[in-house]
Amino acid sequence: MAGADIEEEICALQKELSWLLNEELHHVLQQVQYTLTECNQRFLTDKDKESNKDDSTVCHIKPQKILLSGPNGTAHIKCVLTLFGDNITEADINFKHKQGNHHSLFKTSIHQSLPWKLQQIQDAYNHLKSAAYCISLKENYAFKSVREVTLFIDEVMESIKKGRTCLTFPRRKSVEELLNNQNMQVFHPAVPNTVALSFYIHTSKLILALYQIHRNNQKIEVLSRHQVECTVKWLNEAIMLFTLAIQQLQQLKDKANSVTAVF
């Protein structure tokens, strides 16, 4: 009797495994693809960039005018900018600059002809595209084993996690990297050589950091750092959708592993 019960249970699990591979898997992948499509709509896509050059096509992403502010006021730096996808196309920046024993107000700008490129956003979008492309390749594919499924899920999740990490954990840059950043050339007039400015994304916030530095022979010392910031709604939405896609895939992977654990 016990042997018959075990055989019946194994048969039921085999049916569940077959259902998982042939039906549930593709259903969940469709849901993930929908989530990634929703996420994609938060970014300025390649198609949008082309449509921006062609007035006959309407771009769904519009430039945003943003005022950056500091948690303790903007006594040291003020900035108003225009964000268009992964580019800061315009900006007016005022900051206090110390020359010797005197402080002066320095004004500089970014113009549309030479924008500041936010590489974090472009990198996140590239990983998003990679994940969506991987899923599209398996749209009508018949997976043969749970191991094949889990390896595929891991590959897609890795791309999605990398995309989210681009926005949530910006790479820390050295002072030398900040000073030598190609984006420093976009300011007009050029900022003093004792100042470094850096725009970057941290989670849903767009941040502008001001570094006052001192050059001493071969050593560069940071005297002070100030920042202003603003929450960008579509960045927050993109991060939430990245996270949702990861959760959907993790649940599918857990389900697949639970079925095969008894074999």
The H or E element spanning position 194 is none
Instruction: Return all residues near 89 (Cβ < 8 A) that are at least 6 apart.
Output: 63, 82, 83, 110, 112, 115
Q: What is the pLDDT of residue 1?
A: 44
CA 116/CA 108 separation, integer angstroms: 13
Instruction: Give me the pLDDT at residue 166, please.
Output: 97
Task: Tell me the C-alpha distance between 239 and 245, whole Å.
Answer: 10
| SS3 call for 5 | helix
> Rounded to an integer, what distance in angstroms lies between the CA atom of residue 157 and that of residue 160?
5
The dihedrals phi and psi of 100, each to the nearest 5 degrees, come to: 70, -125
pLDDT tens for the chain, 263 residues long, are 455 666 766 666 677 777 777 788 889 999 999 999 999 999 987 666 665 555 544 556 889 999 999 876 567 899 999 999 999 999 999 999 877 677 789 999 999 999 999 999 999 999 999 999 999 998 888 888 888 999 999 999 999 999 999 999 998 888 889 989 999 999 999 999 899 999 999 999 999 999 999 888 778 889 889 999 999 999 999 999 999 999 999 999 998 887 766 55
Instruction: Tokens for 239, please give them.
Output: 């991060």
Measure the CA–CA gap between 191 and 181, rounded to whole angstroms.
13
Place of tokens 């990398």: 162
How many whole angstroms separate alpha carbon 215 and alpha carbon 221? 6
Cβ atoms of 144 and 17 closer than 8 Å: no
- Which pLDDT does position 56 carry in this prediction? 43
**82: helix, strand or coil:** strand
Cβ density class 161-199: b for 16+ within 10 Å, e for less: bbbbbbbbebeeeeeeebbebebbebbeeebeebbbbbb
Cis check for the bond before 189: say yes or no (omega within 30 of 0).
yes
Q: Distance between CA atoms of 96 and 105, rounded to whole angstroms?
A: 5
